[in-house]
Structure 1
Amino acid sequence: MGGKLSIDDDVHVVIVGGGFGGIAAAQQLKHHGVPFMLIDLLDAFHHNVAALRASVQSGFAWQTFIPYKETFGTSFLQGRVVRIDTTVQSVVLDDGKDVRYSHLILCTGSDGPFPGKYNAVDSYQKAIEKYENIVKEIQAADFVLVVGGGATGVEMAAEIRTEYPTKKVILIHSHEALADPELLPCVREQAKQVLLEKGVELLLGGCLAENGALKVNKHMQIEGFTNIYAVGDCANVSEPKMAYHAGLHAAVAVTNIINSMSGKALTSYHTGNVTMLLAMGRDDGVGQFNGYKLPRFLVTKGKSQGLLLWKSWREMGQKAPS
């Protein structure tokens, strides 16, 4: 994409959803000087990789929210999108506001339950308060039941047992194997063993439901549209739902928007070997890189201790609270 980009006056990209994919797309558009508007329910980016620890460790939630305005200024708008009119190419918010687009990137993620996700129109101060409330609930509980043994359930059970080693924690999962099916069997077994080492009780066996993700082609375009993209958890790409992958999706979507403006061929997204790090509390972790199991101490150092918070604050161009 060498040379200065010539941008028509009618170009205006709208990004719906300010998760990892959304901010990655916004930062790249900002870098190329392409006009855009980022729309999200919250007024701050939520580093939800650290959401589970914020649910068990008091005071930690403050580090997981990064205000959008500080980074994107007037190119950020808070609100809930209720309709997309593809005929006139506009996004309609619940307050009646219309935002015109020439290109649209959907980064709405997945609508998982709190505390792993925070999908509500709210201020980040209110969101932090809610995380602090769940910390108090866990502290007061005699035992905690975690339903679902995917990556989130596994990490949540480990976080609770790490922070409160004497508290009874039970994890129920619909399959015998834990975490994501794309992981190596030995890594999934290791995750189970770490939970058992930490004293988590496991009840396993059952079936899973469909996820209802948006269908996209190899260019990350939603089927039937050439100017609407989906990235991150809301796209039906056959790979684990991870912040890292959302960023890769966003890069393809933005590149294709720019290529379409300059008449270049569209680029494609290709899944590779699964790389995933599971934080098993702040003192342990398991994972794999390019098909190889990683030593537990490397995952602990690389993810578990700090949960990559530094990366999000740096990418947002802000300094984390001390």
Structure 2
Amino acid sequence: MGSQASSELQDVHVVVVGGGFAGIAAAQHLKSHKVKFTLIDMRDAFHHNVGALRASVQPGFARRTFIPYAGTFGDDFVQGRVERVDLERQTVVLQGGQEIRYSHLVLCTGTDGPFPGKFNTVSSRQDAVQKYEDFIREVQAADSVLVVGGGSTGVEMAAEVKTAFPTKKVVLIHPRTDLGDPDLLPGVRDQAKKVLLEKGVELLLGEKVCDLHQLQLNSTQKDMQVSTQTGTRLTTDLIICCTGLRVNTSAYQATFSPSMAEDGALRVNQHMQVEGFSNVFAAGDCANVSEPKMAYHAALHAVVAVDNIINGARGRELTTYRTGNITMLMAMGSDDGVGQFNGYQLPRSLVAFGKSRNLLVWKSWWDMDQKEH
């Protein structure tokens, strides 16, 4: 049976584009089934970006959030930026001209957005860590910080700054009156607001910053002037933008535009196959699945995609992905948190203990089969 299984898979070579949570889950699942694969990412290290905001305020933490791919995947990892996919020749074309052939493709390109919440750029682990350490110095130099955006990232960012630097003035501005992700229970969103106020964060809700693209972000400059659309004027030393998260389409837009949803995500069926293709899959934030964008969901997508590559090669029935109840945890600094599990609001102390203390960094080192170093 074993030799038969391997012969069915001997012509399979899976290319996984993007080494985020979905990408490493796909690669590890392929590795465990001894299926040939190549994982491609712009960086040389996986970014546990659940810890990105803590890495922005706590010296030394960034190093723990970047885990070298080579230590897990060896020669099955290639660093590079994917420019396009050649469907006719079944190759992925990298910047610089390198081409990698595939029998199956798993697109895990995720979302992109402003630093420090996201770090999507060609980089070494050393340079990535240094960028966060440099950012900490900007935060340290500021007496006042303005966080723009009150989604989950903005809420967590404001809490991180105020927890690490309790004497700094921290203002969060958001165009709506509710904070956090829309999929959170109303009670959890109210609790997030309460925690921020308890910590001393000033909330400016129902207001939008004018000409955000013209303002200097992530760099401390004393007494910068900021105006809102209602005429409110603010003075701040540092502006951190936590808005504008978008699907990262650069690797596939030229080839797969007919299969893309309005927001750029790839339309997939219940087997995680991209619309119109039997050998192309999408997983994680770039898959058009109606559920919150979370690392946990991304990994589940990837496992279904890989299972279906194997099932397809063996002539078996394909597995179906089903969305479940929403579990979401928001770290509110290292000492507090809010969240929900299977539709129930969780005690703050439980979220703080389960997530906020170390932001699950240990889990990514575990998933990558490496010891933290």
TM normalised by structure 2 equals 0.83
Residue number in structure 2 paired with 1:5: 5
Structure 2 Cα separation of the partners of residues 253 and 107 of structure 1:
11
Match for 1:188: what amino acid? R
- Aligned pairs (5 A) from 1:121-270: 121-205=122-206, 211-270=263-322
| Structure label with greater radius of gyration | 2
Helix, strand or coil at the partner of 1:82: strand
Match for 1:274: what amino acid? I
Residue number in structure 1 paired with 2:113: 112
Structure 2 Cα separation of the partners of residues 216 and 173 of structure 1:
32
Helix, strand or coil at the partner of 1:108: coil
- Aligned pairs (5 A) from 1:52-131: 52-131=53-132
Q: Cα–Cα, structure 1 residues 12 and 146, in superposed 2: closer, same or farther, change >3 Å?
A: same
Residue number in structure 1 paired with 2:29: 28
Q: Cα–Cα, structure 1 residues 218 and 48, in superposed 2: closer, same or farther, change >3 Å?
A: same
Helix, strand or coil at the partner of 2:156: helix
Match for 1:213: what amino acid? A
State whether residues 339 and 345 of structure 2, in contact with CA within 8 Å, keep that contact through their aligned partners in structure 1: yes
Deviations 1:75-125 (A, max 9, x none): 000000001011111100001000000000011100111111111111010
Structure 2 Cα separation of the partners of residues 4 and 277 of structure 1:
44
Deviations 1:272-304 (A, max 9, x none): 111011000000011100000111111111100
Residue number in structure 1 paired with 2:348: 296
Shift of 1:129: 0.5
State whether residues 172 and 204 of structure 2, in contact with CA within 8 Å, keep that contact through their aligned partners in structure 1: yes
**RMSD value, Cα:** 1.8
Structure 1 Cα separation of the partners of residues 3 and 359 of structure 2:
37
State whether residues 5 and 32 of structure 1, in contact with CA within 8 Å, keep that contact through their aligned partners in structure 2: no
Structure 1 Cα separation of the partners of residues 3 and 330 of structure 2:
41
- In the alignment, structure 1 segments of 5+ residues that lack a partner are none
Structure 1 Cα separation of the partners of residues 326 and 294 of structure 2:
10
Match for 2:5: what amino acid? L
Structure 2 Cα separation of the partners of residues 72 and 25 of structure 1:
12
State whether residues 272 and 305 of structure 2, in contact with CA within 8 Å, keep that contact through their aligned partners in structure 1: yes
Structure 1 Cα separation of the partners of residues 315 and 207 of structure 2:
50
State whether residues 41 and 78 of structure 1, in contact with CA within 8 Å, keep that contact through their aligned partners in structure 2: yes
Match for 1:96: what amino acid? G
- In the alignment, structure 2 segments of 5+ residues that lack a partner are 209-242, 245-261
Residue number in structure 2 paired with 1:286: 338
**After the TM superposition, which of the residue ranges 199-208 and 168-177 deviates more from structure 2?**
199-208
Structure 1 Cα separation of the partners of residues 205 and 3 of structure 2:
56
Helix, strand or coil at the partner of 2:285: helix
Shift of 1:23: 0.4
Structure 1 Cα separation of the partners of residues 264 and 108 of structure 2:
15
| 1:277 maps onto 2:329 in alignment | yes
Structure 2 Cα separation of the partners of residues 212 and 163 of structure 1:
36
Indicate the percent of aligned positions where both proteins have the same amino acid.
68
Match for 1:144: what amino acid? V
